[in-house]
Amino acid sequence: MNNFNIAWRNLWRNSRRSIITMASVFFGVILSTLMTSMQHGSYDAMIDNVVKFYSGYAQVFTEAYHENKTINNTFELTDSIYNIAKETPQVTNIAPRLEYFALASSEELTKGAMIIGIDPEKENKVTDVKKWVETGQYLEQGDKGVLIAIDLANYLKVKVGDTLILYGQGYHGVTSADLFPIRGILNFPMPELNKQLVYMDLATCQNYFGADNMITSLVIMVEDHYDLPKAMRHLKSKIKSPLMVMSWDELQPELVQMIEADRAGGVFMKLILYMVVAFGIFGTIIMMMAERIRELGVTIAIGMQRFKMGTILFIETILTGIVGTLIGIIGSIPVISYFFNNPIKLTGDAAQTMIDMGIEPYLYFSWNPPVFYNQALVVFLITIIIGIFPVYKALNLKVNQALRA
């Protein structure tokens, strides 16, 4: 009979002891997976808040616009540029925009606003802007009206049906001034967007700024940010100067820094968790060895080599780790699935803090496969390291003391 069979049978001679040891591994996998899923889910939510509310996963614009975001640095959207983005396998939706600033007025009140010209149908597929229309209606193709963010509307004391005056400087210095009926009021969960945005149909915006057929950027969406690296490699190989393409992390370096800082704190917390898990597993292994000390002494006394005894004990630990890890992965799937589909809603000061940061007040969880197998691998490696202890005990066991245990 080989060492593997002996180790497997030893495990189930005392099933209660083995189940307790496996349970420590099981709960270690569950806890580390749950924590990692919540951490990654929060990062995914931060990224989604940025890309799905405004920036998109990537944008195409001119090199000059990257340096100086003026309407004079726009470009004409040709079929060749549009098709490069459309034919990229990972790309799901594309939306052209024309963005610039103007003064928004109503009677004697005036405030600076960001004017965003959009294709209503394409923009809604990219940022789902239609769902943030609190009152009124969404724009239609060729619409001459505008959507205005709620805080800006409150400041100017306007509502749906009122007229908004926009005054500014257009393409190549032309004066841009016109009256626009307000079709709807937008209420975003991000305060900064509510203070300044005005949406209008792209053709209407181009006509207002005197920039016929011109856009400032082409916004690109992929399924999620895990698909973005492949899409960026393809886009950067096809899009040449004077145009350029940048991903959300290049457009939002401050968000990347915030995520990295939080990730560093998360690593520290995870190390503490792994230490707790390691001591939990180590405690059960010590208990197991204490219960078997007499058995091991008798086995060595009747002639079993210490090295073989140590090998069998190590295999037992490995098998315990494998079974506990597999059950832990299986057990974590329904738990993570539930929280993935039912995010935890925050309340009170915690919720307000997240809203102030421009993040929806929920604890999101990630369903990404590495969340499962990476944590299972770490806990399994911890179990293997702990498995050295039974080997050490077998090689240094004092038989006379063990027999009297």
SS3 label, residue 174: coil
Report how many domains make up the chain.
Answer: 2
Pair (193, 273) in one structural domain: no
What pTM, to 2 d.p., does this model score? 0.70
Q: How far is CA 254 from CA 68, 250, 259, 260, 289, in A?
A: 19, 9, 9, 10, 52
For residue 374, give both structure tokens: 């990476």
* Residue 170 included in any domain: yes
The pLDDT score that the predictor gives to residue 200 is: 95
What single-letter DSSP state applies at residue 312?
H
Q: How far apart are CA 387 and CA 390, in angstroms?
A: 6
Residue 147 lies in a domain: yes
Average pLDDT for the chain: 85
Same-domain check for residues 283 and 156: no
pLDDT at 183 (0 to 100): 95
Whether residue 27 is found in the same domain as residue 92: no
- 244 lies in some domain: no
Residues 215 and 73 in one domain: yes
Give yes or no: residues 213 and 348 share one domain.
no
Q: Is pLDDT of 405 > 70?
A: no
Same domain flag for 65 and 204: yes
Q: Strand 58-62 and strand 197-201: pairing? A: unpaired
Give the Å distances, CA to CA, from 81 to 220, 258, 275: 12, 33, 53
At residue 359, the pLDDT reads: 66
Using alpha carbons only, how large is the chain's radius of gyration in Å? 31
pLDDT confidence of residue 357? 61
Scanning the structure block, which residue is given the tokens 């037992």?
Answer: 316
Query: Does position 152 have pLDDT exceeding 90, yes or no?
Result: yes
Domain identity same for 282 and 386: yes
243 within some domain: no
pLDDT band of residue 127 (cuts 50, 70, 90) is confident
Q: Are residues 43 and 92 in the same domain?
A: no
**Mind listing the pLDDT tens digit for each residue in 272-310?**
888 887 887 888 788 777 777 887 788 888 877 888 888
Asked whether the beta carbons of 231 and 88 are under 8 A apart, the reply is yes
Give the residue numbers spanning the domain of 309: 3-51+255-403
Domain boundary among 171, 205, 224: 224
The one-letter amino acid at 87: E
d(CA 152, CA 218): 26
Per-residue pLDDT band for 268 (boundaries 50, 70, 90) equals confident
Per the domain annotation, does 323 fall within a domain?
yes
Question: How are beta strands 163-169 and 197-201 bridged, if at all?
Answer: unpaired
Q: What is the mean pLDDT of residues 104-120?
A: 92
DSSP letter at 180 equals E
- In whole angstroms, give the CA distance from residue 302 to residue 69: 85
Residues 98 and 39 grouped into a single domain: no
Do the domain assignments include residue 326?
Answer: yes
Positive or negative, the CA dihedral 324, 327, 329, 332 is negative
Is the per-residue pLDDT at 358 higher than 70?
A: no
Question: DSSP letter at 90?
Answer: T
**pLDDT tier, 77 (very low <50, low <70, confident <90, very high otherwise):** confident
Whether residue 208 sits in one domain with residue 268: no
Are 300 and 405 in contact by the 8 Å Cβ rule? The answer is: no
Instruction: Summarize the confidence of residues 109-137 as an average pLDDT.
Output: 92
Query: Are 165 and 186 part of one and the same domain?
Result: yes
Residue 403 has pLDDT above 80, yes or no: no
Does residue 163 sit in helix, strand or coil?
Answer: strand
User: For residue 1, is pLDDT > 60?
Assistant: no
Domain contains 234: no
Specify whether 113 is located in the same domain as 43: no
pLDDT (tens digit per residue) in 190-228: 777 888 999 999 999 999 999 988 999 999 998 877 788
Q: Show which of 224, 244, 278 is a domain's final residue.
A: 224
- The more confidently predicted of residues 5 and 133 is 133
Determine the number of helices (DSSP H) and then strands (DSSP E) in the chain.
16, 14
Is position 83 within any domain? yes
